[in-house]
């Protein structure tokens, strides 16, 4: 039986050591590959948006047959949505993935394995994560890129009070 969280853990192992970089928010923790081509290079830096977008590509490439169905234009649309572009002002990647028919979107608390765009009070930008579950106090654990990760990406406690939350859950029927 397919376990989404175990599949995410396998993807996360492929993230290379990198530095967290806010310069343009587009760094990824390893090369992004689609249709057997490197479509975005790894340059030693990562940002939350780039890390989660890269992880989504790896998950879809390794665990589904969607690489045949999703064009590079689709993938580029998801990349842009991860950076809160393309008419997805605060829901970003979660809403774009749902609009692509890959699962469901809801402004609700995530479950382990869900993709979340979180907005903290007093911040003008969001934080894109894969929900890694919850700690014993009910606080969200995240996988993402962060300045607090010595390797650039990893699992940690989400910090800050959540003002808005946008969650995407994959439809399990796509996975092998």
| Tokens 């809160």 sit on residue | 84
**pLDDT values of the chain reduced to their tens digit, one per residue, 176 residues:** 789 999 999 999 999 999 999 877 679 999 999 999 999 999 999 999 999 999 999 999 999 999 999 999 999 999 999 986 666 678 899 999 999 999 999 999 999 999 999 998 766 678 999 999 999 999 999 999 998 888 999 999 998 889 999 999 999 999 99
H or E element, residue 4: helix 4-12
The Cα–Cα gap between 6 and 4 comes to: 5
Predicted pLDDT at 85: 62
Q: What are φ and ψ of residue 149, in 5° steps?
A: -95, 120
Q: Which helix (H) or strand (E) holds 11?
A: helix 4-12
pTM summary value: 0.95
Residue 9 CB coordination number (10 Å): 14
pLDDT of residue 135: 97
Please list the alpha-helical segments (H only) found in 13-164.
48-63, 66-69, 72-82, 92-99
Is residue 81 within 8 Å of residue 52, measured between CB atoms?
A: no
The whole-number pLDDT of residue 126 equals 84
Phi/psi class of residue 109: alpha, beta or left (left: φ > 0; alpha: ψ in -120 to 50)? beta
**pLDDT at res. 43:** 94
Closest CA to 153 of 21, 2, 4: 21
Q: b/e map of 38-67 (b: 16 or more CB within 10 Å)?
A: eebebeebbbbbbbbbbbbbbbbbebbeee
pLDDT at site 87: 67
């Amino acid at each position: 039986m397919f376990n989404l969280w175990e599949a995410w853990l396998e993807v996360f192992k492929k993230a290379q050591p990198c530095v967290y970089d806010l310069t343009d928010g587009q760094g990824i923790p390893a090369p992004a590959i689609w249709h057997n081509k490197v479509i975005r290079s790894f340059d030693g830096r990562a940002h939350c948006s780039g890390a989660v977008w890269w992880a989504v590509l790896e998950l879809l490439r390794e665990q589904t047959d969607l690489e045949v169905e999703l064009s590079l234009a689709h993938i580029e649309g998801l990349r842009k949505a991860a950076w809160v572009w393309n008419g997805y002002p605060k829901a970003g990647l979660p809403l774009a993935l749902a609009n692509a028919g890959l699962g469901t979107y809801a402004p609700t608390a995530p479950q382990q394995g869900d993709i979340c765009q979180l907005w903290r009070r007093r911040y003008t930008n969001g934080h894109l994560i894969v929900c890694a579950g919850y700690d014993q106090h009910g606080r969200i654990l995240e996988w993402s890129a962060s300045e607090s990760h010595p390797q650039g990406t990893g699992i940690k406690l989400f910090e800050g009070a959540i003002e808005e939350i946008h969650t995407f859950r994959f439809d399990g029927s796509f996975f092998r």
